């Protein structure tokens, strides 16, 4: 499954990686490649968000290979040593292991499409496919919010007596109470509210749908937004609100969620946090309540329990307790 980390810094490439006019791969002529393997690979992905993310990744790689754009890159000329060089450059620029492996997955997918389009011989494709993922891990980024900061965050929303306050409280409550990714939250429509189950029908990564069951507090805040402000008309569940409290039917964006949280965080006077920290808070609370990893995995929409384990900080707590018990001097 493709991993897309939320908080990776933008990749900054040194202009000295390639000398002017020089590239790893030859540029194709207009008649050489009727179908782009990169475009074919992007079309094979299930979700628009995955296509957008991987297109960005492949655009960066194309630049590293000396092409002016994704479509101008001669992907059929890609070889194993090119792939190895790209992964090394990515690692040297400080990218996380999971992110480098995502780039590698994209390159393998493009190579497969190039082979299927008869733009690459089978031996070259097999050599690229045999490149192994990087191994290793880093300490998880971000943090889980303590209860007092959660209360302060919602108090900041409640102090705002406009429609913005009601919407922001409902949206943050849904992300926090269901452990949603911000893309999942803004992708919700009114029809996704399953009243009989007190749940939301969520479309996650890989185009996989799941039911997210809501705690009572989150459900009450969502109903307040629907009953008092939004109404029950079809369309996005969380919408933009213009000046003078004018409600629209325009869907919020991922970046809008980040901005809303930053505004409310400053108003609440709490430490810096990102939307994904609300998801971490959900996972931490579930695990602290004694839920098993499989249950948390399903609730968060993970494909593998290995991903869920990255949210489990209980081992760190045990290490701190063990440290405090030591008395060696």
Which one of the listed residues 108, 112, 205, 264 is annotated catalytic? Answer: 205
Tell me if residue 302 is catalytic: yes
Find the Cα–Cα–Cα–Cα dihedral 317, 320, 325, 328, rounded to 10°: 160
Find the Cα–Cα–Cα–Cα dihedral 293, 294, 298, 301, rounded to 10°: 60
What are 227's strand-pairing partners?
none
Which one of the listed residues 41, 103, 280, 311 is annotated catalytic? Answer: 311
Tell me if residue 205 is catalytic: yes
Distance, in Å, from the CA atom of 280 to the CA atom of 300, rounded to the nearest integer, reads 10
Tell me if residue 311 is catalytic: yes
Element (H, E) at 42: helix 37-44
Q: Which two tokens stand for residue 42?
A: 């992007």
3-class secondary structure, 213: strand
Which one of the listed residues 129, 143, 276, 313 is annotated catalytic? Answer: 276
Which one of the listed residues 49, 108, 264, 279 is annotated catalytic? Answer: 279
Which one of the listed residues 95, 108, 112, 181 is annotated catalytic? Answer: 181
Contact 177, 215 (CB under 8 A): yes
Residue whose C-alpha is closest to residue 257's, from 147, 183, 166: 183
Which one of the listed residues 95, 264, 280, 302 is annotated catalytic? Answer: 302
Contact 146, 129 (CB under 8 A): no
Residue 276's CB is within 10 A of a number of other CB atoms, namely 17
- Pinpoint the alpha helices (H) of 117-215: 122-129, 147-159, 163-178, 182-186
Contact 126, 84 (CB under 8 A): no
Residue whose C-alpha is closest to residue 263's, from 148, 177, 156: 156
Element (H, E) at 201: strand 199-203
Tell me if residue 181 is catalytic: yes
Q: Which residues are catalytic?
A: 181, 205, 276, 279, 302, 311
């Amino acid at each position: 499954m493709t991993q897309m980390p939320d908080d990776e810094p933008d990749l900054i490439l040194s202009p000295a990686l390639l000398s002017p006019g020089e590239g790893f791969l030859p540029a194709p002529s207009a008649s050489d490649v009727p179908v782009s393997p990169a475009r074919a690979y992007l079309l094979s992905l299930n979700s628009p968000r995955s296509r957008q993310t991987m297109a960005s990744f492949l655009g960066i790689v194309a630049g590293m290979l000396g092409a002016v754009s994704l479509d101008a890159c001669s992907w059929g000329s890609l070889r194993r040593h090119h792939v190895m060089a790209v992964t090394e450059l990515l690692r040297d620029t400080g990218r996380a292991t999971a992110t480098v492996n995502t780039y590698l997955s994209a390159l393998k997918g493009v190579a497969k499409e190039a082979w299927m389009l008869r733009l690459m011989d089978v031996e070259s494709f097999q050599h690229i496919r045999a490149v192994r993922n990087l191994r290793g891990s880093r300490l998880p980024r971000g943090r889980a919010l303590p209860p007092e900061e959660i209360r302060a965050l919602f108090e900041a929303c409640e102090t705002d007596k406009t429609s913005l306050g009601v919407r922001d409280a409902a949206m943050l409550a849904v992300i926090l109470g269901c452990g949603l990714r911000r893309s999942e939250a803004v992708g919700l429509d009114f029809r996704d509210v399953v009243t009989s189950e007190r749940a939301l029908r969520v479309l996650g990564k890989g185009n996989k749908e799941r039911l997210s069951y809501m705690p009572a507090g989150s459900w009450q805040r969502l109903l307040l937004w629907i009953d008092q402000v939004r109404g029950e008309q079809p369309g996005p569940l969380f919408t933009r609100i213009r000046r003078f409290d004018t409600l629209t039917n325009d869907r919020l964006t991922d970046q809008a969620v980040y901005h809303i949280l930053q505004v409310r965080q400053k108003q609440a006077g709490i430490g810096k946090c990102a939307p994904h920290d609300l998801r971490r808070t959900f996972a931490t609370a579930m695990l602290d309540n004694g839920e098993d990893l499989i249950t948390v995995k399903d609730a968060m929409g993970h494909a593998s329990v290995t991903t869920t384990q990255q949210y489990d900080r209980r081992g760190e707590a045990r290490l701190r307790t063990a440290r405090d018990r030591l008395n060696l001097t």
